[in-house]
């Protein structure tokens, strides 16, 4: 049998072509398999509007049970988007994070019975279902969607109790110094909130308080209240104490003494930051900026995030106490001072006398109770204004830091992270002259330039 055809040039070229085709098909098949199995994208936008936050990734990656998200809207509108990702894109990124989370898009016009069964009354509704629990997201944003997911996963409601009766900020007050923003942030994070008073015949912290917040009292607590706080912590309770510096009209002698009994030193000073960094955020030297955090669970995720602490006193670990462990959380810049010269109302810094930074502004502590497996927890910070309505929305990490403190105190360490932010408004504002220049240059100038170039080339080749 003659095999001369194998030596022909056409046969060789045909074999080469067949091998190339097989290699190409193999590469494309492998790429398609990897693309389906590992969905990777890159967000190149300046404010990362197409990226999910650390908290969303953390919550979904730690899922131990199946989650179903239903989105009700017309099919034709699933890919619509005005300023951010479309419903299909946003929910698709959620489902790509875990095989335990799935998304179903339901058209209420084509499937009215499904909408009625789930009591859907309007288009654009998002429902998160975990087992027999269902939670509705207030809007189709990452923040509201992740909060709904957390509410569905966390069966037990947590209660944040705010102490009142000593001139503390009101959680219902929406003014600049009020705490309504803190209340809204907590309720979005699966907390219920309420105000409590310990000014009773037999004062005791209510048993349903997951965390008791002492939000910057202006007048001192009386002895029975101090004993109630002490008993609450020693019984395994959780307390957040925000104690302001002793400026005019504010006295917290008993509260400072209680912190001392817990191994915390609340210094009798006001922190002045002379670094000038706060000016970039519209703050003065009495609003120290925090960018350095310790490796505690509360602050571990706060990398590259700044927090603002208006009118703060320095708070640091004090003398060691039996059964109590205290850790520093974060510090000011090195160019800050803890000044004690403010009795006259004029705050002055004496670099030779005043303690130089970095200065600790908050600590976290644990109390070993007599009951095995139980511990009390507390956080003490030197400013209540860092969570006021004006400062909570600071374009940094104040809100995250406050909620991380509350999550750690309520033993929800899995929720400690950097939370979703509202998309930044990055509109381009142009004057009439600028708009006219863009019109003439893009609509008329560029086409005329192309035509002129073509005529020039034709003339040269003519």
DSSP 341: B
CA dihedral 271, 272, 274, 276 (to 10 degrees): 90
| pLDDT for residue 183 | 92
| pLDDT for residue 363 | 94
CATH class assigned to 54-152: alpha beta
* Spatial separation of the C-alpha atoms in residues 140 and 125, rounded to whole Å: 8
Taking the CB of residue 135, how many other CB atoms lie within 10 A of it? 20
* Spatial separation of the C-alpha atoms in residues 45 and 448, rounded to whole Å: 32
Residue where the block lists tokens 């990226």: 51
Helix (H, G, I), strand (E, B) or coil at 405: helix
Q: Which of 182, 239, 231 is nearest to 210 (CA)?
A: 239
Low-confidence residues of the chain: pLDDT under 70: 1-13, 35-50, 81-84, 201, 278-282, 342-347, 350, 414-430, 462
- Compute CA 133 distance to the chain's CA centroid, rounded to the nearest angstrom: 25
| pLDDT for residue 44 | 47
| pLDDT for residue 420 | 58
From residue 383, alpha-carbon distances to 215, 362, 389 in Å are: 9, 9, 14
pTM of the model: 0.72
| pLDDT for residue 418 | 57
The DSSP result for 155-223, as a single string, is: -S-EEEEEE-SSSPPPTT--STT-SHHHHHHHHHTTEEEEEE---SSS----TT-SEEEEE--SSPPPH
From residue 172, alpha-carbon distances to 178, 180, 320 in Å are: 7, 5, 38
Q: Where are the beta strands (DSSP E) in 302-430?
A: 307-308, 315-317, 324-331, 336-339, 355-356, 360-368, 375-381
CATH class assigned to 158-415: alpha beta
| pLDDT for residue 454 | 80
């Amino acid at each position: 049998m003659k095999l001369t055809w194998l030596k022909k040039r056409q046969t060789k070229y045909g074999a080469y072509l067949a091998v190339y085709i097989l290699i190409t098909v193999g590469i494309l098949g492998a790429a398609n398999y990897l693309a389906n199995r590992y969905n990777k994208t890159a967000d190149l936008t300046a404010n990362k509007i197409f990226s999910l936050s650390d908290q969303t990734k953390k919550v979904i990656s730690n899922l131990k049970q199946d989650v179903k998200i239903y989105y009700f809207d017309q099919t034709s509108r699933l890919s619509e988007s005005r300023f951010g990702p479309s419903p299909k894109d946003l929910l698709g990124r959620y489902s790509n994070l875990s095989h335990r989370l799935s998304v179903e898009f339901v058209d209420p016009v084509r499937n009215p019975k499904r909408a009625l069964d789930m009591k859907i009354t309007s288009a654009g509704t998002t429902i998160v279902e975990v087992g027999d629990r269902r939670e509705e997201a207030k809007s189709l944003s990452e923040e509201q969607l992740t909060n709904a997911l957390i509410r569905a996963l966390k069966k037990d409601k947590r209660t944040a109790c705010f102490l009142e009766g000593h001139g503390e900020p009101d959680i219902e007050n929406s003014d600049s110094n009020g705490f309504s923003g803190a209340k809204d942030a907590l309720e979005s994070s699966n907390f219920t909130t309420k105000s409590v008073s310990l000014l009773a015949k037999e004062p005791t912290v209510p048993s349903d308080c997951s965390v008791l917040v002492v939000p910057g009292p202006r007048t001192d607590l009386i002895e029975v209240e101090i004993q109630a706080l002490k008993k609450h912590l020693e019984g395994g309770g959780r307390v957040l104490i925000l104690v302001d510096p002793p400026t005019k009209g504010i006295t917290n002698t008993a509260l400072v003494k209680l912190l001392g009994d817990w191994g915390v030193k609340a210094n009798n000073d006001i922190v002045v930051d002379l670094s000038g960094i706060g000016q970039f955020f519209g703050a003065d030297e009495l609003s120290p900026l925090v960018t350095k955090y310790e490796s505690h669970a509360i602050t571990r995720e706060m990398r590259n995030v700044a927090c603002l602490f208006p009118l703060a006193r320095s708070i640091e670990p004090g003398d060691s106490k039996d059964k109590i462990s205290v850790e520093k959380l974060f510090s000011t810049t090195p160019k800050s001072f803890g000044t004690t010269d403010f009795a006259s109302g004029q705050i002055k810094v004496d670099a030779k006398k005043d303690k130089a930074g970095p200065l600790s502004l908050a600590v976290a502590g644990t109390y070993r109770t007599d009951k095995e497996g139980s511990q009390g927890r507390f956080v003490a910070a030197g400013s209540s204004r860092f969570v006021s309505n004006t400062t909570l929305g600071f374009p940094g990490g104040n809100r995250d830091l406050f909620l991380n403190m509350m999550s750690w105190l309520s033993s929800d360490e899995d929720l400690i992270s950097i939370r979703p932010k509202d998309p930044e408004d990055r509109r381009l504002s142009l004057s009439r002259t600028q708009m006219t220049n863009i019109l003439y240059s893009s609509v008329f100038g560029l086409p005329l330039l192309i035509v002129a170039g073509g005529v020039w080339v034709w003339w040269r080749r003519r």
